[in-house]
């Protein structure tokens, strides 16, 4: 399970600081203004650093990294499990997936059952690894000058579990687009292997 790191929201002190930094002539103090500009810049840089590193070290993902993780997942032979994924774009959605014999049996989105085949195919561990593979192929096509016209270059990073290959965190950034629409990440917040169903249970 990944450990969430809370990044406190910026406090709303800018108006107060500006007022306190104003001299009797109505002009802001240059020294204080420079200090607060530096403070804001450092805060933004720190927030970006925490975003990228809060869930262990993130790797630039290429085909060799992905294949190594696929191999670990195959060796783990975990075919029955429950997984909870926090997916963030402009907001955060929670997917809860129950998998039996490597097939998604139930997918909840923010507590509501989904029936779309795409959701069942995407949010298993194999489905998430397949999604990363599609993005890697896009990056390779872009580097070779074969990208589909109108598409963006991507920057992709991930954290994989060193023993099972689980894609614990994944960040996908579309370069050249505003961060509000060009960044997607997922984070596995809970992963629970389940006991295998017996043949009798399958029949019942």
Considering the domain architecture, whether residues 48 and 112 belong to the same structural domain is answered as no
- First-to-final CA distance of the chain: 32
Give a yes or no: residue 77 inside a domain.
yes
| 103 and 18 within one domain | no
Question: Are 19 and 101 in a shared domain?
Answer: no
- Report the pLDDT value the prediction gives residue 132, as an integer from 0 to 100: 97
Supply the pLDDT for residue 180: 53
What's the pTM value of the predicted model, to 2 decimals?
0.68
In a domain, 31, yes or no: yes
Same domain, 144 and 166: yes
* Cβ-proximal residues to 162 (8 Å cutoff; 6+ apart), any chain: 72
pLDDT for 197 equals 80
Range of the domain at 38: 14-53
Assess if residue 65 is contained within a domain: yes
Q: Examine residue 5 and state whether it is found in any structural domain, yes or no.
A: no
The pLDDT score that the predictor gives to residue 9 is 40
Task: Let me know whether 129 and 178 are in one domain.
Answer: yes
pLDDT in tens, 30-78: 666 665 665 554 444 444 444 444 445 677 899 999 999 999 999 999 9
Query: Do 34 and 84 share a domain, yes or no?
Result: no
Whole-number pLDDT of residue 21 = 40
Number of domains within the chain: 2
CA 126 from chain center: how many Å?
A: 16
93: in domain: yes
Whether residue 7 lies inside any domain: the answer is no
In a domain? residue 202: no
Do 168 and 111 share a domain, yes or no? yes
**Would residue 3 count as lying in a domain?**
no
Rounded Cα–Cα distance for residues 133 and 128 (Å): 9
Mark the ranges of the chain whose per-residue pLDDT is less than 50: 1-28, 41-55, 200
Q: What is the pLDDT of residue 144?
A: 86
Give the pLDDT confidence score for residue 26 in this predicted structure.
47
Two tokens, residue 155: 């920057």
Are 84 and 183 members of one domain? yes
Token pair, residue 142, equals 């872009």
What are 105-114's contacts with CB under 8 Å, separation 24+? none
Q: Quick one: 79 and 180 in the same domain?
A: yes
pLDDT at 143: 86
How confident is the model at residue 125, as a pLDDT?
98
- For residues 66 and 139, membership in a common domain is answered with yes
């Amino acid at each position: 399970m990944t450990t969430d790191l809370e990044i406190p929201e910026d406090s709303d002190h800018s108006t107060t600081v500006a007022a306190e930094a104003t001299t009797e002539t109505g002009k802001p103090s240059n020294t204080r203004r420079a200090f607060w500009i530096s403070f804001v810049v450092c805060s933004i840089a720190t927030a970006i650093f925490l975003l990228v590193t809060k869930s262990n070290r993130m790797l630039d993902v290429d085909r060799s990294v992905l294949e190594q993780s696929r191999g670990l997942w195959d060796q783990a032979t975990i075919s029955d499990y429950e997984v909870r994924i926090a997916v963030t774009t402009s907001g955060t959605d929670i997917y809860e997936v129950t998998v039996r014999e490597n097939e998604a049996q139930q997918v909840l989105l923010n507590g509501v059952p989904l029936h779309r085949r795409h959701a069942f195919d995407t949010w298993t561990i194999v489905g998430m690894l397949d999604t990363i593979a599609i993005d890697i192929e896009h990056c390779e096509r872009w580097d070779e000058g074969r990208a589909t016209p109108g598409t963006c270059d991507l920057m992709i990073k991930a954290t994989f579990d060193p023993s099972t290959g689980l894609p614990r965190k994944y960040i996908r950034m579309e370069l050249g687009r505003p961060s509000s629409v060009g960044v997607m990440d997922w984070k596995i917040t809970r992963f629970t292997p389940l006991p295998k169903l017996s043949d009798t249970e399958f029949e019942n």
